[in-house]
A and B are shown apart, each in its own frame.
Chain A
Amino acid sequence: MFDPAAQDHHPTLSPAFHRERRDMRAMGMWLFLGSEVMFFTAFFAAYIVARSAAPGFVAMPLERGFGTLNTIVLLTSSLTMALAVLNSKRGERVKTGRYIALTFLLACVFLVVKGIEYAHHFEAGDFPSHDIFFGFYFLLTGFHGLHVLGGMITLAILWWRNRRGDFNKDYNDPIEIAGLYWHFVDLVWIFLFPALYLL
């Protein structure tokens, strides 16, 4: 039976082929992340215009504690993801699995905190249709939350593949490429946090 994972790190493949394949995969991810930057840029630009020119726009005070906590959670998940990639490069399968699982758990914490925050807003009657600010708040944090969810699915697949023994010292591109995506999710939040909660 054809096994793509086995083909990926076949011992007869040359190191040059490994490097070239890794670079091509990385380029694909950087292109995707570039398109993601443009995706969020459109919403950011719309938010700035609404904030500056929409009649009656008021930046409603959000609970900074939730935002700060989630920032710390996402930054910590970036650290654990970087450590997962580092361990995968060294062929440390068990440690790699642990750090991927930790990143997944931190992503869960992020979504739970966000869910609690949303529940508070709904209890207070702050729905997306309530005013322009909350429209943008739910739009931006909602799309970001979907990206977190997408990252979690990827992390779960990677954890399972790592457990199955798909990765080793020479073949670990998927973990590294997924790491790029996860750090990007963190990057978006780094801008969303001050824009929505602090300024």
Chain B
Amino acid sequence: MSSAATTAPSGVHDHGRSYKAEAVFYAEIFGLLISLTILTVTLSYVNVGWALDLTGRAPNIVAGMLVAAVKSSLVLWFFMHMNHEGRLNRFIFAFALCLFTLAVVAFSSDFVWLHTYVVEGARAAVGGM
């Protein structure tokens, strides 16, 4: 019988690290999450599209959602231990996340398109009359 089968499971989270090392690692992830929260708030006060000569809120929305995606990945991967889940569990949740991403990206693209072409185009047409 293999040693894995004879020892009681200490859980999927026991990565062989000491308690202190594991707790410090969690604290580091927490620090990163707080830093990213500060970044999100800061980004909302600046014109993110300035460097690319873009106007409107679209660049800020994209930047804000990207930071949120990074934050959620950190929570998912390290606090929820997705990295130690089996393939099936990963697939189940990844599938739902893909649908979420698809919905957000598809509808946000509409948002950008509507404002860049339809609204601005309508304004230009009205102004040109």
**A183 touching B40, Cβ below 8 Å:** no
CB < 8 Å neighbour of B85 from A30, A79, A198? A30
Flag B46-73 by CB within 8 Å of A: 1 or 0 each.
0000000000010011001101100110
**A38 touching B30, Cβ below 8 Å:** no
How many angstroms between the C-alpha atoms of A38 and B67 in the bound complex? 21
CB < 8 Å neighbour of A45 from B13, B107, B114? B107
Flag B103-129 by CB within 8 Å of A: 1 or 0 each.
110011011001100000000000000
The answer, yes or no, to whether A190 is at the interface (CB within 8 Å) is yes
CB < 8 Å neighbour of A15 from B5, B22, B37, B115? B5
Q: Could you say which of A68-76, A108-116, A155-163 contacts chain B?
A: A68-76
Specify the chain A residue showing the minimal Cβ separation from B114.
A52
**A68 touching B41, Cβ below 8 Å:** yes
Listed in ascending order, the chain B residues whose CB lies under 8 Å from chain A are 4-14, 19, 22-23, 26-27, 29-30, 33-34, 37, 40-41, 43-44, 57, 60-61, 64-65, 67-68, 71-72, 75-76, 79-80, 85-86, 88-89, 92-93, 95-97, 99-100, 103-104, 107-108, 110-111, 114-115
- Please provide the 9 A-B residue pairs with the shortest distance between their CB atoms, ordered closest to farther: A34-B96, A52-B111, A198-B44, A48-B107, A37-B96, A89-B11, A194-B64, A79-B30, A45-B103
